[in-house]
Structure 1
Amino acid sequence: MNQLTQELLSCVNFNRIIKIMRIFCSILVAMLFFQNSQAQTRKVVADKIIGVVGDKIILQSDIKNSILDAQRQGQQVPENAECFVMEQALAQKALVLQAEKDSLVVSEEEIDGMLDNQVRQFIAMYGSKEALEQIAGRTVYQIKEDFRQNFRERRLAELMRNKIVSNIKITPTEVKEYFDKIPTDSLMFYESELEIGEIVMYPKASRDLELYAIEELNDYKQQVESGKAKFETLASLYTDDPGSKNTGGMYQINRTERQMDPTFISNAFRLREGQISPVFKTKFGYHIIQMVNRAGDDATVRHILRIPAITDTEVNTSVEKLDSVRSDLLANKYDFGAAVSKFSESEESKFTGGMKQCGQGSYCTIDQLDKDLVVALKGLNPGDISKPLVYTDERGKKGVRLIFLKTRTEPHRENLKDDYNKVADRALEIKKMETVDKWFKSKIPTFHLVIDPQFSSCNQLGIWMNSITKNQ
């Protein structure tokens, strides 16, 4: 198996190295989604088994549908796309076989989360749940069940690859050797990049203003139940949720969805069609929900969100608290990560040590930052911590934050002094690829293999074809 194969095999977690990997990751996702749904909407004139690895089979339709659907979505595919996708399929089956032998396990909860995320992406792609179901010829529930095994195999293959490379490390000497082999005119050019940390506090509304928001929602509920107003009209006028304001507060939800607020889901699925919930609270504010219609674990709802107003008094309280935190940081009473863990109220920061994430890591360019943050960075030098700054986040929620400028680079050609970690990451991934390549070379001869003669001219399948020839 050649090096390109290994790079593509790692596309789920290691796609920073070669740009083309992103393209073919999309092809594979398209294959997972459409290989069964297309079978529901068109008859296949002829299908056959074109590959076998152990007890795992690969169908002709799997390969063709993945390529056709990728093309329909505007993806660029090479002339030898069938060879490439076939190699991917063979490699995945081999990894899954070994994962099963090694007793690697993927939980149903993890698969459910992966399926939820994928369905959300397709809903975003096609505009609505109804459009998705029309194209697939299946309900969302059926789509998830159709592709459950595919997602399980994909995850098992990923776990097996991770196990193969789990002990691979890189030394500074190896990093330098890798860097020295890169032609000077091929070195990457970087725009100015920054590493930025935040400690965020969200001012709490006064109890009086919370009670006022609750009274408003109870009034809206009464208006709808008495027939004085339509729920969607009130949502369009008064909801504080920008994501549903233009649709009359409407959302398509699923009981098993992991990304939705659990309190919201719980309150929604207690309702009968047409019923309106009592006022309840989530981390976003106060809500009422109307159940529009429901089919099993799928439902269409409308909701109105009211976020209690934050006054200057509450904002100033948070400013004072963060000013005290800043003083302690400057006095070295604790480091920034410890302060994030102790004081930050941003959910994302708990998993990143407070460092903003942009793309594949913590290095951000100016155009990836919000305008308020760009303004706040003026005058800060690496190592500086800003005074408390009031801002509004992407959900429209008012907050106060300290900004820590960890590093700032100038536009430059890649070098080991400024970019050691990036170079080391690439060198480590190549070493991992070589390790996976060696694993395949040793394992492929141990698998029972069948590959249709139509792929005999595929250079990518050389090691697979040679193994079959030797075993004949």
Structure 2
Amino acid sequence: MLSKKLQLKTIDYKFVLTICFLLFFNSIISAQEIIKDSVVAQVPVEIPSGQRQKIDGIIATVGDYIVLDSDIDKGFLEISSQGGSVKDITRCQMLGKLLEDKLYAHQAIQDSIVVSDAEIRGMMDERLNYMMQQAGGDINKIVAFYKKNSVEEFKTYFSDILKEQKLASEMRDKIIGAVEITPEEVRNFFKSIPKEELPTFGAEMEVAQIVVEPKVSKEDKQKVIDRLNSIRKDVLEGSSFATKAVLYSQDPGSSPTGGFYKMTRKTPFVKEFKDVAFSLAEGEISEPFETTFGFHIIMIDKIKGQEVELRHILISPTVSEDALKEAKERITNIRAKIESKQITFADAARTESDEKETRANGGTLINPNTQDTRFELTKMDPTLYSQVSNLKDDAVSQPLLNTDDKGKKTYKLITVTNRIDEHTADYAKDYTKIKELALKEKQIKAIGKWFDDKIKDTYIKIIAEYKTCNFTNNWLKK
């Protein structure tokens, strides 16, 4: 286990992240309205002030932002509606989180952090599409739920809420993004943990794979090009590009936000994508073009010096059954050569694999969460775990048909190249994990210092009823 000091801070950090996640929708619906007593969540309250009347009103002010009593209640209601438990969250803790969000947003404006209208439109499209699904496609039900008089009034209100949420997120990312850690700091962090309290890391393994992609026919490619041209035509005639991206784009990283990306020439996008993006003028929509991911169209929202704000739609061609059959035969032959010792798995990956990201490393996978080659069994992706858990050392899996989150089908072979048993943290062997823990601690300290500094310089008022709260931050300026 971590030292008590570190453990406490880690718990606080996880609490903040948990609340951030659970309040994903609460930050949207945090409306300034009275809510009925009959729907107020029964939650723990740490305010020893006797029987409290449920009269809504301003309970706190942070800079230019306010918090209403109903905001806290709606926070609990939303956590409950998402299946979360509120039994261990007090009203004071909920208020503390809301105050943090308000200060983030307030300071973002002071720091001239800009949230573009295009970003808000993308967020609006994403959330509205989700809400429309929940409301059976009837936007009037949503308007009524928020007690607004028209769709336009609701969208204006909703846009303001989303902008505040985005400002808070950008401000927090700015604080954390500025935190760096040196090897010396990592070493000192590790040395500060008592030997008997060093963390224990679970069993891990290193995995390699060979991927074979089915060949896509010219006819299948043309179908995708025709589909993108049809979408492009609709947009040129007045349809929303963002809505089309939400409905049809197969890029999971951008489709929920209407296909939105911000990029410069240094942003790590594939060359073909950047070449097209930086050849377009504002408002222009590209013709369909191909990358390794499939076919795209791009629309430029805004050009800011060397930065481009754009939207794109990605559609990948479907693969025929004949192409899948040929791919399976090819990867079966590769496996046979490995099994007969004609070639090693690593050499086969370098010469035969269609996956550019891994073939140079002999097929070795990189853990996306840690950026090293180890995968902790208890945290491994369930699909990958099911594929490797029963493999013996140096064994090669049978050909596995894989479908990724964009619907792209491939065949692959997997092998386990190394196993690491559960063990107490070792500085040399576990440097990457120790560095991550040290960085998180430093980020927590940076956030804490930021709150200390900004609270001193910001107008903050909390009504008497909540002044007995034991906040993590010094909101009461004691």
* Partner residue in 2 for 1:163: 174
Residue 137 in 1 paired to residue 148 in 2? no
Q: Distance in 1 between matches of 2:468 and 2:354?
A: 55
Contact 2:28 2:161 in 1 (8 A): no
Q: Distance in 1 between matches of 2:331 and 2:348?
A: 20
CA deviation map 1:296-348 (0-9, x unaligned): xxxxxxxxx98531353354457789999x989639989x999328999xxxx
Give 2:27's match in structure 1, choosing from 11, 32, 37. 32
Alignment of 1:371-382 (within 5 A): 373-374=387-388, 378-380=392-394
Q: Which amino acid aligns with 2:430?
A: D
Q: Distance in 2 between matches of 1:425 and 1:130?
A: 46
* Partner residue in 1 for 2:412: 401
Q: Distance in 2 between matches of 1:445 and 1:134?
A: 40
* Partner residue in 2 for 1:363: 375
* Partner residue in 2 for 1:308: 320
Give 2:243's match in structure 1, choosing from 250, 256, 261. 256
1:339 and 1:93, CA in 2 relative to 1: closer, same or farther beyond 3 A?
same
* Partner residue in 1 for 2:262: none
What SS does the corresponding residue of 1:417 show, helix, strand or coil? coil
Give 1:50's match in structure 2, choosing from 47, 59, 69. 59
* Partner residue in 2 for 1:20: 15
Instruction: Give the gaps of 5 or more residues in structure 2.
Output: 1-6, 41-53, 225-239, 256-289, 296-316
RMSD: 5.5
Contact 2:175 2:446 in 1 (8 A): yes
Q: Distance in 1 between matches of 2:415 and 2:126?
A: 32
Q: Distance in 1 between matches of 2:417 and 2:33?
A: 50
Q: Distance in 2 between matches of 1:79 and 1:387?
A: 45
What SS does the corresponding residue of 1:147 show, helix, strand or coil? helix
* Partner residue in 1 for 2:425: 414
Q: Which amino acid aligns with 2:72?
A: I
What SS does the corresponding residue of 1:429 show, helix, strand or coil? helix
Alignment of 1:12-411 (within 5 A): 18-36=13-31, 46-77=55-86, 81-115=90-124, 137=145, 146-182=157-193, 186-196=197-207, 198=209, 200-204=211-215, 256=243, 258-262=245-249, 308-311=320-323, 312-316=325-329, 330=347, 339-340=356-357, 355=366, 357=368, 363-365=375-377, 368-370=382-384, 373-374=387-388, 378-380=392-394, 389-393=399-403, 398-401=409-412, 403=414, 408-411=419-422
CA deviation map 1:420-448 (0-9, x unaligned): 21221121111122122222222222212
| Greater fraction of residues in helix | 1
Contact 1:193 1:408 in 2 (8 A): yes
Q: Distance in 1 between matches of 2:206 and 2:36?
A: 49
Q: Distance in 2 between matches of 1:338 and 1:399?
A: 10
Q: Distance in 2 between matches of 1:142 and 1:61?
A: 20
TM-score (norm 2): 0.58
What SS does the corresponding residue of 2:461 show, helix, strand or coil? strand
* Partner residue in 1 for 2:463: 452
Contact 2:328 2:399 in 1 (8 A): no
Instruction: Give the gaps of 5 or more residues in structure 1.
Output: 1-6, 215-252, 266-281, 286-304, 468-472
Q: Distance in 2 between matches of 1:461 and 1:364?
A: 33
In the TM superposition, what is the alpha-carbon distance from 1:456 to its structure 2 partner?
A: 0.9
Q: What is the count of residue pairs matched by the alignment?
A: 369
* Partner residue in 1 for 2:451: 440
What SS does the corresponding residue of 1:401 show, helix, strand or coil? strand
Q: Which amino acid aligns with 2:27?
A: L
1:354 and 1:331, CA in 2 relative to 1: closer, same or farther beyond 3 A?
closer
CA deviation map 1:86-114 (0-9, x unaligned): 22222222222222122112233433444
Identical columns (%): 25
